[in-house]
Amino acid sequence: MGFIFSKSMNDSLKAQQEFMLMNSRLQLERQLLMQNQMRERQTAMQIAWTREFLKYFGTFFGLTAVGLAAGAIKKKNPAVLLPIVPLSFVFAYQYDMGYGTLLQRMKG
């Protein structure tokens, strides 16, 4: 009698252990999926922020380039155009981040 009772308990314990193992695997898979979704959302937010920033910085860069060009012509001094160089690097970086392949290259 005790043998039958302990055998059914062992079977029940094994079934419960298998269920717990399956449940923990399922939970781990869900956590990984959620982490991937959060990473993708964060990347999308970063790209959206960069594109929004690029609108304002592009306007600033364009107005600055026109103003510096007018100042260089008026003063007849091409050295006035020098601030355009670092601003163009920042603009190119932001453009590549928002509309280019910078994030894919960083992942690779």
Print pLDDT tens along the chain (108 aa): 456 666 777 878 888 899 999 999 999 999 999 999 999 999 899 999 999 999 999 999 999 999 999 999 999 999 999 999 999 999 999 999 988 887 777 777
> Burial, 69: exposed, middle or buried (Cβ in 10 Å; 0-12, 13-18, 19+)?
middle
**Contacts of residue 94, Cβ cutoff 8 Å, sequence gap at least 6:** 50, 53, 54, 57
Helix (H, G, I), strand (E, B) or coil at 54: helix
> Burial, 84: exposed, middle or buried (Cβ in 10 Å; 0-12, 13-18, 19+)?
middle
| Distance between CA atoms of residues 45 and 14, nearest Å | 46
pTM, full prediction: 0.68
Cβ neighbour number for residue 34 with a 10 Å cutoff: 10
